[in-house]
Amino acid sequence: KAGVTQTPRYLIKTRGQQVTLSCSPISGHRSVSWYQQTPGQGLQFLFEYFSETQRNKGNFPGRFSGRQFSNSRSEMNVSTLELGDSALYLCASSTTQANTEAFFGQGTRLTVV
Amino acid sequence: SQQGEEDPQALSIQEGENATMNCSYKTSINNLQWYRQNSGRGLVHLILIRSNEREKHSGRLRVTLDTSKKSSSLLITASRAADTASYFCATDFTGTASKLTFGTGTRLQVTL
Protein backbone atom coordinates (compact mmCIF):
# COMPACT_ATOMS: atom_id res chain seq x y z
CA LYS A 1 0.00 0.00 0.00
CA ALA A 2 1.51 3.32 -1.04
CA GLY A 3 2.01 5.90 1.68
CA VAL A 4 1.07 9.55 1.76
CA THR A 5 2.75 11.44 -1.05
CA GLN A 6 3.49 15.13 -0.91
CA THR A 7 4.78 17.20 -3.80
CA PRO A 8 6.97 19.04 -4.25
CA ARG A 9 9.49 18.19 -1.54
CA TYR A 10 11.17 21.58 -1.64
CA LEU A 11 10.07 25.02 -2.78
CA ILE A 12 11.66 28.43 -2.78
CA LYS A 13 9.32 31.36 -3.32
CA THR A 14 9.55 35.13 -3.11
CA ARG A 15 7.53 37.27 -0.73
CA GLY A 16 4.17 38.18 -2.20
CA GLN A 17 3.95 35.13 -4.42
CA GLN A 18 1.52 32.30 -3.93
CA VAL A 19 2.17 28.59 -3.68
CA THR A 20 0.21 25.37 -4.05
CA LEU A 21 1.19 22.15 -2.30
CA SER A 22 -0.23 18.76 -3.13
CA CYS A 23 -1.00 15.69 -1.05
CA SER A 24 -2.14 12.25 -2.14
CA PRO A 25 -3.49 10.25 0.80
CA ILE A 26 -3.33 6.53 1.37
CA SER A 27 -5.84 4.74 -0.80
CA GLY A 28 -9.17 4.51 1.00
CA HIS A 29 -8.44 7.35 3.42
CA ARG A 30 -10.98 10.11 3.05
CA SER A 31 -9.63 12.51 5.66
CA VAL A 32 -6.66 14.71 4.81
CA SER A 33 -5.18 17.09 7.37
CA TRP A 34 -2.49 19.73 6.96
CA TYR A 35 0.02 20.90 9.54
CA GLN A 36 2.66 23.61 9.60
CA GLN A 37 5.91 23.00 11.45
CA THR A 38 8.26 25.82 12.38
CA PRO A 39 11.05 26.02 14.96
CA GLY A 40 9.21 28.75 16.85
CA GLN A 41 5.62 27.49 16.86
CA GLY A 42 6.16 23.77 16.51
CA LEU A 43 3.53 21.61 14.83
CA GLN A 44 0.27 23.43 14.26
CA PHE A 45 -2.95 22.21 12.70
CA LEU A 46 -4.01 24.12 9.59
CA PHE A 47 -7.18 22.40 8.40
CA GLU A 48 -8.78 19.07 7.61
CA TYR A 49 -10.78 17.99 4.60
CA PHE A 50 -13.20 15.12 4.45
CA SER A 51 -15.29 14.19 1.42
CA GLU A 52 -14.31 17.42 -0.34
CA THR A 53 -15.46 19.59 2.58
CA GLN A 54 -13.39 21.45 5.11
CA ARG A 55 -14.40 19.86 8.38
CA ASN A 56 -11.93 21.41 10.82
CA LYS A 57 -9.90 24.57 10.71
CA GLY A 58 -6.99 25.83 12.76
CA ASN A 59 -6.11 29.36 13.71
CA PHE A 60 -4.45 30.58 10.53
CA PRO A 61 -5.21 33.64 8.38
CA GLY A 62 -7.34 33.41 5.29
CA ARG A 63 -4.22 33.43 3.10
CA PHE A 64 -4.06 29.72 3.89
CA SER A 65 -6.67 27.72 2.04
CA GLY A 66 -7.17 24.24 0.76
CA ARG A 67 -9.39 21.92 -1.14
CA GLN A 68 -10.01 18.27 -1.66
CA PHE A 69 -10.90 16.47 -4.82
CA SER A 70 -13.27 13.57 -5.35
CA ASN A 71 -10.34 11.12 -5.29
CA SER A 72 -9.41 12.48 -1.82
CA ARG A 73 -6.26 14.18 -3.07
CA SER A 74 -5.83 17.55 -1.44
CA GLU A 75 -4.08 20.79 -2.17
CA MET A 76 -3.25 23.68 0.06
CA ASN A 77 -2.61 27.18 -1.16
CA VAL A 78 -0.85 30.05 0.50
CA SER A 79 -1.30 33.44 -1.09
CA THR A 80 0.72 36.61 -0.59
CA LEU A 81 3.60 34.74 0.97
CA GLU A 82 5.39 36.20 3.97
CA LEU A 83 8.82 35.34 5.32
CA GLY A 84 7.13 33.77 8.34
CA ASP A 85 5.42 31.23 6.11
CA SER A 86 8.74 29.44 5.69
CA ALA A 87 8.10 26.06 7.23
CA LEU A 88 7.74 22.35 6.74
CA TYR A 89 4.18 21.63 5.63
CA LEU A 90 2.99 18.17 6.52
CA CYS A 91 0.00 16.34 5.20
CA ALA A 92 -1.62 13.43 7.01
CA SER A 93 -4.34 11.03 6.01
CA SER A 94 -6.55 8.95 8.23
CA THR A 95 -9.64 6.77 8.20
CA THR A 96 -12.97 7.49 9.86
CA GLN A 97 -12.40 4.80 12.47
CA ALA A 98 -12.05 5.84 16.07
CA ASN A 99 -8.75 5.62 17.91
CA THR A 100 -6.53 5.19 14.89
CA GLU A 101 -3.36 6.93 13.88
CA ALA A 102 -2.61 9.49 11.23
CA PHE A 103 -0.22 8.66 8.42
CA PHE A 104 2.10 11.49 7.44
CA GLY A 105 3.82 12.35 4.21
CA GLN A 106 7.46 13.46 4.07
CA GLY A 107 6.46 17.07 3.93
CA THR A 108 7.10 20.03 1.69
CA ARG A 109 9.85 22.38 2.80
CA LEU A 110 8.82 25.91 1.80
CA THR A 111 11.34 28.71 1.96
CA VAL A 112 10.15 32.26 1.39
CA VAL A 113 12.86 34.76 0.48
CA SER B 1 -1.38 26.83 19.78
CA GLN B 2 0.07 23.63 21.17
CA GLN B 3 -1.81 21.50 23.62
CA GLY B 4 0.97 21.12 26.07
CA GLU B 5 4.56 20.71 26.91
CA GLU B 6 7.02 17.91 26.67
CA ASP B 7 10.06 17.51 28.80
CA PRO B 8 12.87 17.34 28.57
CA GLN B 9 13.29 19.44 25.43
CA ALA B 10 16.45 17.52 24.68
CA LEU B 11 17.89 14.28 25.97
CA SER B 12 21.27 12.74 25.29
CA ILE B 13 21.98 9.17 26.34
CA GLN B 14 24.28 6.33 25.43
CA GLU B 15 23.25 3.27 23.50
CA GLY B 16 21.72 0.66 25.76
CA GLU B 17 20.31 3.15 28.24
CA ASN B 18 16.63 3.87 28.70
CA ALA B 19 15.05 7.14 27.58
CA THR B 20 12.00 8.65 29.25
CA MET B 21 10.00 11.54 27.84
CA ASN B 22 7.06 13.24 29.46
CA CYS B 23 4.08 15.01 27.97
CA SER B 24 1.45 17.17 29.60
CA TYR B 25 -1.78 18.29 28.04
CA LYS B 26 -4.54 20.69 28.97
CA THR B 27 -8.00 19.34 28.20
CA SER B 28 -9.86 16.04 28.04
CA ILE B 29 -8.87 13.65 25.29
CA ASN B 30 -10.07 10.58 23.42
CA ASN B 31 -6.58 9.21 23.07
CA LEU B 32 -2.96 10.23 23.16
CA GLN B 33 -0.46 9.23 20.51
CA TRP B 34 3.30 9.33 20.20
CA TYR B 35 5.10 10.06 16.95
CA ARG B 36 8.75 10.10 15.91
CA GLN B 37 10.31 12.51 13.43
CA ASN B 38 13.72 12.08 11.87
CA SER B 39 15.56 15.25 10.84
CA GLY B 40 12.61 17.37 9.72
CA ARG B 41 10.96 14.64 7.74
CA GLY B 42 7.48 13.18 8.13
CA LEU B 43 6.12 11.85 11.39
CA VAL B 44 5.89 8.15 12.06
CA HIS B 45 3.29 6.82 14.43
CA LEU B 46 4.66 4.85 17.36
CA ILE B 47 1.87 4.02 19.75
CA LEU B 48 -1.65 5.07 20.73
CA ILE B 49 -3.13 4.88 24.20
CA ARG B 50 -6.84 5.39 24.78
CA SER B 51 -8.15 7.61 27.54
CA ASN B 52 -9.41 4.60 29.50
CA GLU B 53 -6.04 2.84 29.39
CA ARG B 54 -3.22 3.41 31.85
CA GLU B 55 -0.31 1.61 30.26
CA LYS B 56 0.55 0.15 26.90
CA HIS B 57 3.56 -1.68 25.48
CA SER B 58 4.87 -2.10 21.96
CA GLY B 59 8.26 -3.72 21.54
CA ARG B 60 10.78 -1.53 23.35
CA LEU B 61 8.19 1.18 23.93
CA ARG B 62 6.15 1.65 27.06
CA VAL B 63 3.57 4.40 27.35
CA THR B 64 1.67 5.44 30.45
CA LEU B 65 -1.27 7.79 30.72
CA ASP B 66 -2.55 9.56 33.80
CA THR B 67 -5.72 11.41 32.90
CA SER B 68 -6.10 12.84 36.40
CA LYS B 69 -2.78 14.62 35.97
CA LYS B 70 -3.23 15.11 32.25
CA SER B 71 0.15 13.61 31.55
CA SER B 72 1.79 10.79 29.66
CA SER B 73 5.25 9.32 29.48
CA LEU B 74 7.09 7.40 26.80
CA LEU B 75 9.84 5.01 27.80
CA ILE B 76 12.22 3.60 25.22
CA THR B 77 14.23 0.75 26.66
CA ALA B 78 17.68 -0.33 25.51
CA SER B 79 18.06 2.66 23.20
CA ARG B 80 19.87 2.35 19.89
CA ALA B 81 21.59 4.95 17.74
CA ALA B 82 18.72 4.56 15.28
CA ASP B 83 16.34 5.89 17.94
CA THR B 84 17.92 9.33 17.52
CA ALA B 85 15.00 11.55 16.50
CA SER B 86 12.44 14.01 17.82
CA TYR B 87 9.49 12.55 19.66
CA PHE B 88 6.09 14.22 19.88
CA CYS B 89 2.98 13.44 21.81
CA ALA B 90 -0.30 14.28 20.14
CA THR B 91 -3.74 14.46 21.63
CA ASP B 92 -6.91 13.65 19.81
CA PHE B 93 -10.23 15.22 20.78
CA THR B 94 -12.27 14.23 17.77
CA GLY B 95 -12.16 10.48 18.17
CA THR B 96 -10.43 10.10 14.83
CA ALA B 97 -6.94 11.26 13.90
CA SER B 98 -8.17 14.12 11.79
CA LYS B 99 -7.13 16.95 14.11
CA LEU B 100 -4.18 16.24 16.32
CA THR B 101 -2.70 18.71 18.76
CA PHE B 102 1.01 18.23 19.24
CA GLY B 103 3.32 18.84 22.13
CA THR B 104 6.57 20.72 21.85
CA GLY B 105 8.66 17.60 21.29
CA THR B 106 11.74 16.01 22.82
CA ARG B 107 14.96 15.73 20.81
CA LEU B 108 16.62 12.44 21.66
CA GLN B 109 20.27 11.83 20.83
CA VAL B 110 21.58 8.30 21.33
CA THR B 111 25.34 8.01 21.09
CA LEU B 112 27.44 4.90 20.62
pLDDT for B63-112, tens place per residue?
999 999 999 999 999 999 999 999 999 998 887 889 999 999 999 999 99
Cross-chain residue pair B98–A48, CB shorter than 8 Å? yes
List, for residues A11-40, the tens digit of each pLDDT value.
Answer: 999 999 999 999 999 999 999 999 999 998
Q: What is the mean pLDDT of residues B2-24?
A: 91
Measured between CA atoms, the residue of chain A closest to residue B52 is A99
Using alpha carbons, select from A40, A98, A87, A44 the residue that is nearest to residue B102: A44
Among candidates A55, A90, A109 on the partner chain, residue whose Cβ is nearest the Cβ of B43: A90
B91 contacts B25 by C-beta, under 8 angstroms: yes
Report the pLDDT value the prediction gives residue B1, as an integer from 0 to 100. 47
Alpha-carbon distance of B102 to B4, in angstroms, equals: 7
Task: Read off the pLDDT band of B3 (50, 70, 90).
Answer: low
Mean pLDDT by 10 residues, chain A (113 residues): 93 98 97 96 96 95 98 98 98 92 97 98
Tell me which residue in B31, B41, B99 faces A99 most closely, judged by beta carbons.
B31
Summarised one tens digit per residue, pLDDT across range B14-50 is 999 999 999 999 988 999 999 999 987 899 999 999 9
Mutate one of A4, A43, A46, A55 to test the B interface: name it (highest B CB count within 10 A): A43
Cα–Cα distance, B102 to B80 (Å, whole number): 25
Which residue from B41, B48, B102 is facing A106, i.e. has the nearest CB? B41
Q: What is the pLDDT of residue A42?
A: 93
Decide: B100 and A33 in contact? Cβ < 8 Å. Answer: yes
Cβ contact (<8 Å) for A55 and B98? yes
Distance CA B90, CA B96 (A): 12
| Interchain CB contact of B87 with A (< 8 Å) | no
Is the pLDDT at B2 greater than 90? The verdict is no
Task: Answer whether B61 touches A (CB < 8 Å).
Answer: no
